[in-house]
Amino acid sequence: MNIWRTTLAALAIGALGAIGSHALAQSRSAEPEAAILVASPGLRDADYRQAVVIVVPVENERHIGVIVNRPTRRSLSSLFPEHAPSKKVTEPVFVGGPMSRGAVVAVVKSDKDLGKGTVGLTKEMFLAMTVSVVDHIIEDMPNDARYYVGYIVWRPGELRSEIDRKVWSVVNASPDVVFRKDTTGLWEELSRLARAITASVDDRLLPQAMQIHP
């Protein structure tokens, strides 16, 4: 294992520790059920203020996601200067969330399952959580993905409670939102959309796996 692999392997430990490899494997067997969360205008927490998040259920009614509208000024190659393939990545690294900010994960566009260590988001998007998969993406399809430091994990029932308290609005997940080149104004745009459909949104419009009842 070279220096790059050793470093990224260490960074990935936090991700696997938070949700578990079994949870990742189990989620692959289900139909992807991701959604986009739009932070309420009243949410003042610095980590989530005006955040747009792609989220998906995993094992035991937990949820995992990344913030999609927090680009940094850092490139992947600046994080891993000794790894030549990372220089192929043209977009900046994004801040994915407050958990395990030393961990690098990726959302990748692919029409096929990338295997163990990924979570299906939609039929054409996967969240890569393990060193081997992220490494493969960077080396073989570097610009079909977006890379994040950190992520978000919700405990069982936690996201359901936050949605009930109107911490988040929920809209459909799509690659157009996740891979938007300029995320400036994305939160405002989706907030207007969420307000426009609020009257017609109820639990039947949420992904079934996200409907966590008492």
Asked if 90 contacts 76 with a C-beta cutoff of 8 angstroms, the reply is: no
Q: What total of structural domains would you count in the chain?
A: 1
Q: Which range marks the domain in which residue 112 is found?
A: 3-210
Q: Residue 111 belongs to a domain with what CATH number?
A: 3.40.1740.10
pLDDT score, position 30 = 55
Burial class (CB in 10 A: 0-12, 13-18, 19+), 31: exposed
Please give the Cα distance from 116 to 23 (Å, whole number). Answer: 10
> What are residue 171's phi and psi, to 5 degrees?
-130, 170
pLDDT score, position 31 = 64
> Residue 32 is encoded by which pair of tokens?
């992807």
Beta pairing partners, 106 = 128, 147
Residues 190-214 as b or e (16 or more Cβ within 10 Å = b): bbeebeeeeeeeeeeebbebbebee
Walk along the chain (214 residues) and give the pLDDT tens digit of each residue. 333 333 333 343 344 444 554 445 444 445 668 999 999 999 999 999 999 999 999 988 899 999 999 999 999 999 889 889 999 999 999 999 999 888 899 999 988 877 788 999 998 999 999 988 999 999 999 999 999 999 999 999 999 999 999 999 999 999 999 999 999 999 999 999 888 876 454 444 455 444 433 3
Query: What is this structure's pTM?
Result: 0.81
